[in-house]
A and B are shown apart, each in its own frame.
Chain A
Amino acid sequence: DSGVTQTPKHLITATGQRVTLRCSPRSGDLSVYWYQQSLDQGLQFLIQYYNGEERAKGNILERFSAQQFPDLHSELNLSSLELGDSALYFCASSERGHNEQFFGPGTRLTVL
Chain B
Amino acid sequence: GQNIDQPTEMTATEGAIVQINCTYQTSGFNGLFWYQQHAGEAPTFLSYNVLDGLEEKGRFSSFLSRSKGYSYLLLKELQMKDSASYLCAVREGYGGGYNKLIFGAGTRLAVHP
Q: CB within 8 Å of B: which residues of A?
A: 2, 30-31, 33, 42-45, 48, 50-51, 55-56, 58, 88, 90, 94, 96-106
Between-chain CB contacts (< 8 Å), 23 pairs: A42-B87, A42-B103, A42-B105, A43-B43, A43-B87, A45-B102, A45-B103, A48-B98, A50-B99, A55-B96, A55-B98, A56-B99, A88-B40, A90-B42, A97-B97, A98-B91, A98-B99, A100-B45, A100-B48, A101-B101, A102-B45, A105-B41, A106-B42
CB distance from B4 to the nearest CB of A (A): 9
Q: Count of B residues near A, CB < 8 Å?
A: 26
Residue of A nearest to B92 (CB): A56
B61 interfacial by beta-carbon distance below 8 Å: no
CB distance from A43 to the nearest CB of B (A): 4
Q: Which chain A positions have C-beta within 8 A of B89?
A: 43
Bound complex: CA A105 to CA B21 (Å): 27
**Which chain B residues have a beta carbon within 8 Å of chain A's beta carbons?**
30-31, 33, 40-45, 48, 87, 89, 91-93, 96-106
State the 4 A-B residue pairs at the shortest beta-carbon distance, nearest first: A97-B97, A103-B42, A50-B97, A43-B103
Chain A proximity of B80: nearest CB distance (Å): 22
Closest to B93 in A: A98
> Which B residues touch A43, using CB under 8 A?
43, 87, 89, 103, 106
Interfacial chain A residues near B33, Cβ < 8 Å: 100
Cβ of A98 to closest chain B Cβ, rounded Å: 6
